[in-house]
Amino acid sequence: MSREERDMRAGDYVLGLMDEADRARAERDLTIDPEFRDAVWSFSQRLEALDRSAAPEPVAGDLWSRVAAQIADVTQQTRLELVQSDMAAAGAPLTPPDRHGALGLKRPMSGFFRGARGTALAATMLAACALGYVIGQASVTARDPEVVVVLLNEEDVPGALVEAYADDRVRILPLTDFEVPAGKVLEVWTLYDADVGPVSLGTMDAAREAVLSGPDLPAPRPDQLYEITLEDAPRSAAGRPLGPILVKGFAVSPPR
């Protein structure tokens, strides 16, 4: 999607000029496409000034109790569930993982996912589907990535998607807004050889979609570890991760 097209869709969404189908698609993209999300919220926060001239209306005394009664039995959805349902609605349904793992993936370091195996597997499938979908929309690359990785935070919530290419490029798609305080950067690492240790792929100063050129490394392989840490700008002085790990995950080969 071009920037102009994205801005036009964001405009139509914020102005309320979409038909039902386009609006549903826009709401899915709000969940999975950070650039569209930015375009929508920056525009809607500006137009909000027009709402200020509407004098607040009195609120019926029982309105809150009506809301409270309705939410008494409503379970809140988790971020992952919301993303999954949006992905399913986008035509890339996710098979619920069974306890054996729906994809039959080998996970030599599955201890990392202990207690969250289902979530991790669901997230892995989510990564493959979400990237396919986003690439399909954006057409940013003609070549398929060697591996895709979903990076999870310590609660096993997907925080970023990574595609790693044979020519050392790495594309990062944040799924959440990482807090990056002044003077800090997000640094992306991979561990392709335990003897070499973690290697920096590059840094980002904000949680935005980015393509890093990456150093010359062997082609990325399934089960290779990727992680993002918070480091002092301009990058970790030690050449290895010093700051807290925000998210990490293991690579899988995308379905062809």
Residue closer to another protein by CB (options 7, 223) is 7
Binds another protein by CB under 8 A, chosen from 77, 95, 141, 213: 77
| Residue 7 contacts another protein per CB under 8 A | yes
As given in the structure block, the two tokens for residue 62 are 């029982």
Min CB(100)–another protein separation in Å: 28
C-alpha pair distances (Å), 54 with each of 13, 41, 48, 60, 192: 21, 21, 11, 17, 58
Min CB(167)–another protein separation in Å: 31
Min CB(71)–another protein separation in Å: 5
| Residue 177 contacts another protein per CB under 8 A | yes
Residue closer to another protein by CB (options 84, 224) is 84
Site string for another protein, 24-63 (x = CB under 8 A): ------xx-----x--xx-xxxxxxxxx-xxxxxxxx--x
Residue closer to another protein by CB (options 61, 183) is 61
| Residue 206 contacts another protein per CB under 8 A | no
- Residues in the interface with another protein (CB under 8 A) total 47
Task: Give the HSE-up count for residue 224: Cα atoms under 13 Å, Cβ half-sphere.
Answer: 24
| Residue 205 contacts another protein per CB under 8 A | no
**CB under 8 A: which stretch of 7-15, 145-153, 182-190, 221-229 binds another protein?**
7-15
| Residue 167 contacts another protein per CB under 8 A | no
Min CB(108)–another protein separation in Å: 31
Min CB(176)–another protein separation in Å: 6
| Nearest to 228, CA basis, from 254, 198, 195 | 198
Min CB(143)–another protein separation in Å: 29
Residue closer to another protein by CB (options 33, 231) is 33
Q: Report the C-alpha gap between 81 and 91 in whole angstroms.
A: 16
- Structural contact between residues 199 and 192, judged by C-beta atoms closer than 8 angstroms: yes
Which stretches of the chain bind another protein, using CB under 8 A?
Answer: 4, 7-8, 11-12, 14-17, 23, 30-31, 37, 40-41, 43-51, 53-60, 63-64, 66-68, 70-71, 74, 76-79, 82, 176-177
